Structures are given as structure tokens and as C-alpha cells.
């Protein structure tokens, strides 16, 4: 099992919670896609980025201090097959344990990390 995204459960759910505002709901599926995009880029791009890339699907300011550059290095080491496996394993984990993941998030990062450690 590739736990790249499962180990980031708390971060993904944090994005969902932070971006749900002003009548807009960012569900955990959308938050996953936003997180994955920023990891693949190695930075949290926003519409004010200096590199002239306009990105609307990002994590916003939901994860201050998160090291996207280090996450990208880890992501790149997985290679195409490992990346595909990480996505499939996260999807299967969420399908099987969504309620537990929500409960863990409500109980904090340590609870999310414990749930991730138990994932098989």
C-alpha cells in the first residue's frame, strides 16, 4: 500500500474545511484534487503568483508552513506507477473509511495520523 496521500489525511481535510466558506462547499474530494495539484507543482500557487500561471484549483492559505517542495520531491520519487498507486490507495481508503476519517479529523492531527498508521 502506498500511503502518500493517506499520511496527508489531516492536510487534505484541513483544505476542505478552510475552503468551505462564503456559501461555497469544498468537499474532501475537491480538497484532495487541490492538494494533489499543489504537491505535483511543488508549491502553493495562487492567482497572484509571480510565475504568470493562473491556478484556481489550489489549497489557498489552508496549509501555512506546509512544505510543498519537500512533498513534491517525495511525490516525484514515486514515479508514475507509484503515483497512480498512491491515488488508488487513497481512494480505496476513503471509500472504506470515510466516516472514521471524518471522526479522526474532528479529533485532530494525531487521530488522523493514527488512522493512517492503521491503514492496510
pLDDT tens for the chain, 120 residues: list them: 999 999 999 999 999 999 998 888 899 999 999 999 999 988 876 545 555 454 556 888 899 999 999 999 999 999 999 999 999 999 999 999 999 999 999 999 999 999 999 998
pLDDT on residue 70: 97
pLDDT on residue 56: 55
> Quick check: 52 and 66 in contact, CB under 8 A?
no
- Cα 10 to Cα 120: distance, rounded to the nearest angstrom: 18
- Cα 108 to Cα 14: distance, rounded to the nearest angstrom: 10
pLDDT on residue 60: 81
- Cα 97 to Cα 45: distance, rounded to the nearest angstrom: 30
Residue 21, helix vs strand vs coil: strand
Amino acid at each position: 500500500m502506498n500511503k502518500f496521500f493517506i499520511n496527508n489525511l489531516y492536510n487534505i481535510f484541513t483544505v476542505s474545511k478552510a475552503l468551505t466558506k462564503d456559501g461555497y462547499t469544498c468537499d474532501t474530494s475537491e480538497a484532495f484534487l487541490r492538494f494533489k495539484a499543489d504537491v505535483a507543482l511543488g508549491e502553493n500557487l495562487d492567482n497572484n503568483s509571480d510565475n504568470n500561471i493562473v491556478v484556481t484549483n489550489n489549497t489557498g492559505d489552508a496549509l501555512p508552513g506546509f512544505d510543498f517542495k519537500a512533498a513534491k520531491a517525495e511525490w516525484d520519487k514515486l514515479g508514475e506507477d507509484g503515483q497512480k498507486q498512491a491515488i488508488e490507495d487513497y481512494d480505496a481508503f476513503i471509500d472504506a473509511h470515510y466516516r472514521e476519517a471524518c471522526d479522526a479529523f474532528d479529533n485532530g492531527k494525531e487521530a488522523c495520523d493514527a488512522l493512517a498508521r492503521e491503514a492496510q
